[in-house]
Amino acid sequence: DGGITQSPKYLFRKEGQNVTLSCEQNLNHDAMYWYRQDPGQGLRLIYYSQIVNDFQKGDIAEGYSVSREKKESFPLTVTSAQKNPTAFYLCASSAYRGRAYGYTFGSGTRLTVV
Amino acid sequence: EDQVTQSPEALRLQEGESSSLNCSYTVSGLRGLFWYRQDPGKGPEFLFTLYSAGEEKEKERLKATLTKKESFLHITAPKPEDSATYLCAVQAGGSSNTGKLIFGQGTTLQVKP
């Protein structure tokens, strides 16, 4: 079955450490996105990519980095510059369906600073 | 600035007690308005897409409607399994068709038996 796989499900980061969250899709979607979700807040866009080897900053890109070397993969690195990284991270991919982009979300990675 | 506001933040219902969730939006050219259901610790699950004012869509006990300024998610005779957070999001139009979604903060629904 086609879908999006995020790993790991839970991740713990020490102070000053970089960590990478994995996102893989087999839906053949061109566009991929990373969102951050905090309690009581909506999803906020970190980075997005519409084609391979190209990506753009979202609303809260500071302290994060991404790469898009393959259509199927869009990993997110949370760097030590991100001062408050504890959150639930969601990856999504989308395809244009004539009037708007339809999204498929992964199951998320919960990152905790220890 | 494109913005989405959902109300109420939390809603408690008795099983069978119908109600509505509100999503107010301001956006420069609406491409689509989306409703998602999210269970704790999981990714959002797609429910509906609405494209233009006057449009309505139904799925089991849920019905979504759209006007030029807001959308409602009507829940008829809810069951405990309808308990979840419901997210509303809009996709703006314009020359840059990036597909970005702008989300509201969600409404957490609890249905008691």
CA distance, residue B2 to nearest chain A CA (Å) = 12
Cβ–Cβ below 8 Å for A43 and B34: no
Of A42, A50, A88, the CB nearest to B98: A50
Chain A touched by B91 (CB under 8 Å) = yes
The yes-or-no verdict on residue A37 having pLDDT over 80 is yes
Could you tell me how many CB contacts below 8 A there are between chain A and chain B? 71
Cβ–Cβ below 8 Å for A110 and B41: yes
Residues 20-59 of B with CB under 8 A from A: 31-32, 34, 36, 41-46, 49, 51
Show residues of chain A in contact with B45, CB under 8 Å. 105
Residues 6+ positions from A30 with CB-CB distance below 8 Å: A50, A51, A71, A95
CA dist B11 and B7 (Å) reads 9
Q: Are B6 and B13 in contact (CB under 8 A)?
A: no
pLDDT in tens, B62-85: 999 999 999 999 999 999 999 999
CA dist A79 and A37 (Å) reads 17
Assigned token pair, B55: 């449009």
Q: What are the phi and psi torsion angles at A35 (to 5°)?
A: -120, 155
Mean of all residue pLDDT scores within chain B: 94
DSSP letter for B81, please.
Answer: G
Q: Are B93 and B100 in contact (CB under 8 A)?
A: no
Q: If we measure between CA atoms, which residue out of A85, A31, A88, A78 comes closest to residue A55?
A: A31
Going by pLDDT thresholds of 50, 70 and 90, the confidence category of residue A16 is: confident
pLDDT in tens, A38-74: 987 889 999 999 999 999 999 999 999 999 999 999 9
pLDDT score for A40: 79
CA dist B102 and B4 (Å) reads 7
Residues 6+ positions from B6 with CB-CB distance below 8 Å: A42, B21, B22, B23, B24, B86, B87, B88, B104, B105, B106, B107
Q: If we measure between CA atoms, which residue out of B89, B102, B95, B99 comes closest to residue A56?
A: B99
The H or E element spanning position A72 is none
For B40, what's the count of Cα atoms within 13 Å in the CB-facing half-sphere? 6
pLDDT in tens, A75-113: 999 999 898 999 999 999 998 766 777 899 999 999 998
Cβ–Cβ below 8 Å for B43 and A107: yes
Q: Are B21 and B42 in contact (CB under 8 A)?
A: no
Cβ–Cβ below 8 Å for A99 and B101: no
Name the closest residue on chain A to residue B49, using Cα atoms.
Answer: A102
Show residues of chain A in contact with B100, CB under 8 Å. 33, 45, 48, 58
Of A40, A101, A107, the CB nearest to B99: A101
Whole-angstrom distance between the N-terminal and C-terminal Cα of chain A?
A: 36
Q: Which residue has the tokens 């030029």?
A: B68
